[in-house]
Every structure is written in C-alpha cells, then in structure tokens.
Amino acid sequence: MDSDLEEQDLEEHLCAAFQDKLRLLLHAELRAAHGKMVPARDAATLMPSTRVLLKRREVAEVEQELQSQREEFRQRMEHLAQRREQLAQREEELRDVALKFDAFLKAVAARREKRAGEERAWAVAQGAEAARLHRELEGLLQHRERLARRLRSLRRFGDYLRDALASMGQFQDVPDMLAHFGVLAEARAALAQEAEAGQERLAQGRAQLQRYQEEMSTELLSTNNELAQLRTRLEAARQDVLQWESCWARVQSTATQKTLLLGQIKLAVLNLFQLSTAWLRIPMDVALEDTEAQLDMLLLCLRDLTDICAISRHPVRHRGARLSWSQE
C-alpha cells in the first residue's frame, strides 16, 4: 500500500512538473513573439510539418528532462526507502537494546531487592536469634541462681546425710544409702498402691454385694407380691370350685329327679299304651322303649275315644262320623 501511494505521488509530481515546463515554454515563446516580430513571410514559409517537428522536438526535450527528473526522483526515493529501512532496522535494534536494557535493569533491581530482602530477613533473623540467646542466657542465669539458692538451702541436708552415713557405718557413701532408701521408698509406695488397690477392690465388692442385696430384696418383694396374688387367685379358684361343685351337685340332683320323673312318665305312657291297645284291641307293633311312638298311638286312641264319646252323645249329628269310624 505504501509503494502504491509513493507511485501515485510520483506520477502526480511528474504531471505537475510537465505542466509547469509546458507553461514555461509557452510563456517564453509568447514573450519571444511579442519581443521579436517574425516577418510574415518567414512564418508563412514554415510548413506545418516543420512546426510539428519543432513541437515534437520540444516535447521530446521536455520528456527527456522529465525522464531525467523522474529517474533522479526514483533514485532519491530508493535512497529514502533504503534510509527508511535502515532507520527502521536501527529503531528495531534500539528497541531490542532498550528492552534488553530494561530487562537487565529489572533483573538488577529484582536481584538488588531480593538481596536487600535477604539481608533484611537475615538481619531480622540475627536480631531474633540474638534476642532469643539473650533471653536464654537470662533464663540460664536465673536457673543458675535458683540452683545456687537451692544448693545453699540443701547444704544442711547434705551435712545431715554425711553424719547419718558416718553414724550408721553400713554404706560406703551417700549415693548408696540414698539408693537403698529409694528402693525401700519404692517398695513402700508399691505396698501402699497394692493396699489402695485392695481397698478399692473391697469397696467394689461391698458395692456389688449391696447391689446384689438390693436386687435380691427387690426380687424377693416382687416374688412375695406375686405369691400373694397367686394365693388370692387360689382362694378365688377354691371358691369357684366350691361354687361349681355345689352347682354340679344341684345339677346331679336335678338330673336324678328328672331321670326318675322321666322313668315314671315312660312307665305311665307304657301303661296307658298297653291299656289303650288292650281295650281297643289294637295290635302292639311299637317297641317298648319307643315312648314317642307310644305317645303318638295314645294320641290317636284318645282322638278315637273322643269321637266315640261325641257320637254316643249325639248319634244323629255324628252318623257320618260313625260310618267312617266303623269303616276304619
């Protein structure tokens, strides 16, 4: 796009230069024509072709001059393009150098900042370490002072132990005596611990025995309550048994009476049946144990006797009935 614009600018410049050149030539010819009058015969003697050739020569000279100017302008533009490329390359190199220098400065600043931070951290750490060591030294000095005071306070006990060692004569030195008494103290502590454990086990046994007694008393109370309920139910059951036995006795007595009454009724029915059949001369084709059939037969006999009695009282009214009875 830049080359097209440059070519367009070059053509416009050449056209403008050519127009300026033609304008100058025409202006010079006009001034020459006004300043120096050519005889009429000379102008008339020039042929049109000659004038055309003259004009063509002038145009060729102008074009040659324009061509030289165009070539000069092209060379100048090429030189400018080369110069521009060199400047662009130089600018790119300077930009790279600037970027590298900027990166170098940033790296140097970062290293400097890192080194400064490390130095500050080291200084802070050294200060903290120094403060810690100072506090530790103060603590050690205070501990030394406490140990010195304790040593001064325990010195009389050391004198006492040495006197006891000299008086006993059983041990070689104070550490042996202290070790012996330490073993005795450990044995005493073990025995005390065992006694305490025995007391704890005894207390646990007592608590367990008390819980067992409470549980047994609760269970015994529950058993007594259940036994009382069972006794109450037993008494109620006995009362029910006596009541049902009396009822059963009454039922048996009633059944016996009913059985006797039934036997009497059966005997009475049998006697009536035998009397009726004997009096009416009816064949006895009914079993002796079939009381119902005997009752049915007695009912028929009683009906017949009732009819006979009615006929005997009213013979005319019951003539038809007599005939039917005689037929039967």
- The whole-number average pLDDT for the span 233-245 is 88
Taking residues 53-58, report their average pLDDT: 79
Residue 46: what pLDDT?
A: 58
Amino acid, res. 116: A
Share of the chain above pLDDT 90, in %: 5
Mean pLDDT of 25-38: 52
pLDDT band, very low/low/confident/very high, at 313 (cuts 50, 70, 90): confident
Q: Which pLDDT tens digit goes with each residue over 174-209?
A: 777 778 778 888 888 989 988 888 888 889 988 999
Domain boundaries, the chain: 2-112, 265-327
Residues in the chain, total: 328
The predicted pLDDT at position 141 comes to 92
Please check the confidence at residue 40 and state whether its pLDDT lies above 60: no
Confidence of residue 152 (pLDDT cuts 50, 70, 90): confident
Closest CA to 304 of 285, 280, 270, 273: 280
Q: 74-117, pLDDT tens digit by residue?
A: 888 888 888 888 888 888 888 888 888 888 888 888 888 888 88
With CA atoms as reference, report the closest residue to 273 among 261, 262, 284: 284
pLDDT greater than 80 at residue 48: no
- Span of 23-37, 74-88, 115-129, 225-239 with lowest mean pLDDT: 23-37
Q: What is the mean pLDDT of the chain?
A: 78
Cβ 325 vs Cβ 307: under 8 Å: yes
Residue reference for tokens 């009497």: 264
Q: What pLDDT, on the 0 to 100 scale, is given for residue 327?
A: 42
Residues 277, 283 contacting (CB under 8 angstroms) = yes
Q: What is the pLDDT of residues 12-26, one digit of tens each?
A: 666 666 666 666 665
Query: What's the pLDDT at 321?
Result: 45
Task: Specify the higher pLDDT residue, 288 or 318.
Answer: 288
The predicted structure's pLDDT at residue 311:
80
Sign of CA dihedral 92, 94, 98, 100: positive
Q: Residue 140: pLDDT band by 50, 70, 90 thresholds?
A: very high
Answer whether residue 173 shows pLDDT above 70: yes
Question: Higher pLDDT residue, 243 or 301?
Answer: 243
pTM here is 0.27
Rounded CA gap, 267 and 274, in Å?
10
What span, in angstroms and rounded, lies between the C-alpha atoms of 75 and 160? Answer: 123
The continuous run of DSSP H or E covering 126 comes out as helix 48-168
The pLDDT, as a whole number, for residue 228 is 92
230/227 Cα distance (integer angstroms) = 5
Q: How many CB atoms lie within 10 A of CB 14?
A: 15
Ranges 26-40, 49-63, 103-117: which has the least confidence: 26-40
Return the pLDDT at 62. Answer: 80
